[in-house]
Structure 1
């Protein structure tokens, strides 16, 4: 994939924009940080050149001015809500985030438990925070929020919330996931700052949608694809158009809630500095795009990947048909279809000719290699092995794992571990390859080829096992599957 984004320029421009916004308020800026602050792989896929930790890189340049507040919804703690990408609960993720910031020498001012109503699990988490020495503030559920302005901006609203002391000019408010109450946390803190005579302001940072790209630009359409299950959409900011006569792209939820946010800020500070939700943002992503064509192509691929993820989710769960239908419309809007990924046609053709599950992987130079199911290796394993051979120039027929090394593993799986499938998964194949690399220079060279596969697209004729899909994702390979299972049974793992 051609690079289309200047990460260094982005880090510099974004930091400058935030410094300017801090200066606008002359005291303290509460910056609501939307999306993933770290590990933003969606952004790195649609903006080739964007580094997954780019936002963290930017924040570390502001380290001397920065502290972090982590907001978490007490109801999510009570329900043991889990992050789907990490498999950990929101309260555990709050601690993970705190540890991460501490490792980067970024101070954490504390944790805010939002929508607190005496939940036992939230009380237990608060006690846990106390034993760890992490400050915690309780923000209560406010009747009539967010529309009853008089109640919210009063002693009966924000006034009942506990204030979390902050001391730095920039306070980044982040959270384990959506619905955590970041906006309410910012506004509540703002209310208490003004009561204390501290000049403070609010701004919002969202990577997507990109406000200065057209509504139908594939980068923005890819964001809609990523949030198709939420039923939200990008729209033109009508407030910005009315105030300035300029067309900007924004998010429907931000547009819908802006009148309330503006009214709250007017009540808290006397006036609102913003005429539109776009005004509130500080996003400089659009200014760092260096190759629009490369970003368009990358985004179109991401839209198609999201479609296959949704289709497989429907197959697995029987749920999510609306999201899949939405993604079909987004593909048409972007002018692409399910055959955009070259690996798909290669994988389906290989499966048809061999009569068994098959896979294909598009290499960095555009070459597509395939893998088939054999007696010892599954399609995911053979595809990965063949791709590593191809990028290192090793003949595809050259054996790099001795058969007498594979057979004992297969026997272990079936005889002692009582598995029904003797074929090796990707992780087991890589372990066997690693063992061979200790004494075989060719195997060692093939193993090194794994690094070259990061960012490549792979496609499989059937839904992969969790084990295989996990290995591919850890390697940074984008995985798509045809929404069908290998067997006809009711139960699949």
Structure 2
């Protein structure tokens, strides 16, 4: 795939910049870590070359200095708040994060429960962590937060919170999701540190929006598309413009809260080290873009994907999604529309050529488009997948990699014994059938070798695919979009 981002440069620059920021603050920095640390696939899609675990790899360069504190709100524990991407509750995700951090050699010092309330679920959570050797601390709701600054920065405000005992210079403050209270934890710790004579500092690590790209750059517009359901809005940082005469980009929540944060800094430290929200950030991603055109194109495609997903979610739920209108506005700002991508055009052309049957198209790394149609043995996505592997392996498109004789027993199993109405093979089933043909068919073996080259390829379907197909394509690293319609649109239940 075309590369637009220098990942090695990013790792070096980012870790060096954080070391510099630590040195500015009495060798103690609380770094609020936003976004996904282990699997930032959004960043890897809009900045081709950015690795999904880049932020983790950067932290590993600082692991001797770094200590992780995971933050979770008591309200989220009691409400059993779920992570949509993993399908697990926030409290379970804390355990997952601890395992993941420790598994790569990062030191997890403690967990902080914010907005603490004395509930059985919270007590059980703390006891479980303490039993595993993880210390827990409690931070409480503060009346008047965040506006009554004088009360918040006092012994009756932050002073009532537990002081989180830490050991290392770089404190990485992270959480299962937004709204957990990461910034409040950082500022509360600053209050306690200054009480103890330690002139600690605070900084914020958010990849998006990228502060030194234009406001309407596609990379920044794609961030707005990704957070359309949160109604985040990118904006020029007015504080930075006034202080330095330079135009930088931030987002509404940080700009709105900055005067409050600045006032807290002044009460805690006597003087704020920052003159703008941009000053608080440490993100170096914008300096590591090596091909702006590649990143622009990738970001425009991402906005389209977000819009298709919204339309499909809306179709599935039967409820108009409010973020749909935000996404339509972003598409207008970016000058893009549905149906413009070649992969969409070719999928629709195949559907029309087969009398309106579902069809799919895949765009390979070199821009080649392969298509798949619905047949008696394979669904359109499965057909397109096989055709893509043939193309990548240099195999004639007319050659059968998996014989009908091998497919028919699988169909019998599906329909006669497993209760499926659809006899055609899903994408996971055709890949299993392909792998079982390797010992007898050298071309099947060559096709299997090409599976890694599907990663990063766009695939478009003229109908909503089953969850099985969607999950398989995601595991392959492919970027799926579907038209918001079902193969049998009169059915009330669309799970098979």
**Shorter-chain TM-score category?**
over 0.9
- Deviations 1:13-61 (CA, angstroms, capped at 9, x unpaired): 1111101110111231000001111111111111111111111111111
Match of 1:91 in 2: 91
- Report the Cα offset of residue 387 of structure 1: 0.8
Paired residue secondary structure (2:431): helix
1:336-351 correspondence to structure 2 within 5 Å: 336-351=336-351
- Say if 2:78 is the partner of 1:78: yes
1:273-284 correspondence to structure 2 within 5 Å: 273-284=273-284
Q: Within 1, Cα distance between the matches of 2:278 and 2:100? A: 30
- Report the Cα offset of residue 464 of structure 1: 0.7
Structure 2 unaligned blocks of 5 or more? none
Contact 2:26 2:198 in 1 (8 A): no
Q: Within 1, Cα distance between the matches of 2:113 and 2:82? A: 17
Contact 2:237 2:249 in 1 (8 A): yes
- Deviations 1:68-122 (CA, angstroms, capped at 9, x unpaired): 1111111111111111111111111111111111111110011111111113212
- Report the Cα offset of residue 320 of structure 1: 4.7
Match of 1:360 in 2: 361
Contact 2:29 2:202 in 1 (8 A): yes
Contact 1:174 1:182 in 2 (8 A): yes
Contact 1:75 1:115 in 2 (8 A): yes
| CA spacing shift, 1:195–1:320, aligned 2, 3 Å | farther
Match of 1:463 in 2: 464
- Report the Cα offset of residue 415 of structure 1: 1.0
Paired residue secondary structure (2:71): strand
Match of 1:112 in 2: 112
Paired residue secondary structure (1:261): helix
Q: Which moved more, 1:234-243 or 1:433-442?
A: 433-442
Q: Within 2, Cα distance between the matches of 1:126 and 1:146? A: 26
- Deviations 1:150-187 (CA, angstroms, capped at 9, x unpaired): 22112221111112211111001011111111101111
Contact 1:300 1:334 in 2 (8 A): yes
Contact 1:30 1:172 in 2 (8 A): yes
1:224-373 correspondence to structure 2 within 5 Å: 224-354=224-354, 355-373=356-374
Contact 1:304 1:340 in 2 (8 A): no
- Say if 2:486 is the partner of 1:492: no
- Report the Cα offset of residue 383 of structure 1: 1.2
Contact 1:237 1:250 in 2 (8 A): yes
Q: Within 1, Cα distance between the matches of 2:115 and 2:422? A: 48
Match of 1:390 in 2: 391
- TM-score normalised according to structure 2 size: 0.98
1:26-175 correspondence to structure 2 within 5 Å: 26-175=26-175
- Deviations 1:173-230 (CA, angstroms, capped at 9, x unpaired): 0111111111011111111111222221100000000000000111101101111111
Match of 1:21 in 2: 21
Give 4+ residue runs of structure 1 displaced > 2 Å after superposition.
318-322
- Report the Cα offset of residue 458 of structure 1: 0.3
- Report the Cα offset of residue 329 of structure 1: 1.2
- Deviations 1:451-479 (CA, angstroms, capped at 9, x unpaired): 11100100000011100000000110000
Match of 1:434 in 2: 435
Structure 1 unaligned blocks of 5 or more? none
- Report the Cα offset of residue 335 of structure 1: 1.4
Contact 1:229 1:320 in 2 (8 A): no
Q: Within 2, Cα distance between the matches of 1:165 and 1:319? A: 47
